[in-house]
Amino acid sequence: MLQNRQRMEQIRIQADESSAKVDELTAKVKLLEQANLAKEQEITSLTHKNSTHEADVEKLEATNKDLKEQLDHIRMSSNQSEALQRRLQILEEEAEEADKNIRETNDKLRQTDVKAGHYERKVQALESARDQWEEKYEEMSKKYAQAKKELEDIQTEIGNM
């Protein structure tokens, strides 16, 4: 019996040790379950953050695409603006050239007007001189006709004599 007692004692000790070990392992399992729960919550949180970040990335990609399109539009507008600036510069140069030509033409027109006025006065003077010469011619024609008639009269008188 002593052996049975010792054996029982050993079994009790083993049972106590096993019970302590079970308690220890149960505590470990609880710790591991809590750690597992904490990890699952962390995973859930990180999954949510990840989906939020993916949505943000999609928004940023859409914004990036819009900004690229706007940049392309700005570049195109800039190119159009540069082309319009060059066209404007060419038109301004053409306008300056046209103004210069107009000023030169106006100067020539004034000179022509002055010359025309001068020639009109010369024409009037020449017409006046012509009119005077025509009057003198008519007077002379009359005097010639009168002198011719007198000459004929004289010749007739001389011939009658």
Residue pLDDT, tens place only, 41-76: 999 999 999 999 999 999 999 999 999 999 888 888
pLDDT, one tens digit per residue, over 8-44 is 888 888 888 888 899 999 999 999 999 999 999 999 9
Alpha carbons 39 and 46: distance in angstroms, whole number: 10
The 8-class DSSP code of residue 161 comes to -
DSSP code of residue 84? H
Place of tokens 């009359």: 142
Residue 114 phi, psi dihedral angles, 5° rounding: -65, -45
pTM of the model: 0.42
> What is the DSSP code (8-state) at residue 39?
H
pLDDT tens-digit map of 71-120: 888 888 888 889 999 999 999 999 999 999 999 999 999 999 999 999 99
* Cα Rg of the chain (Å, integer): 66
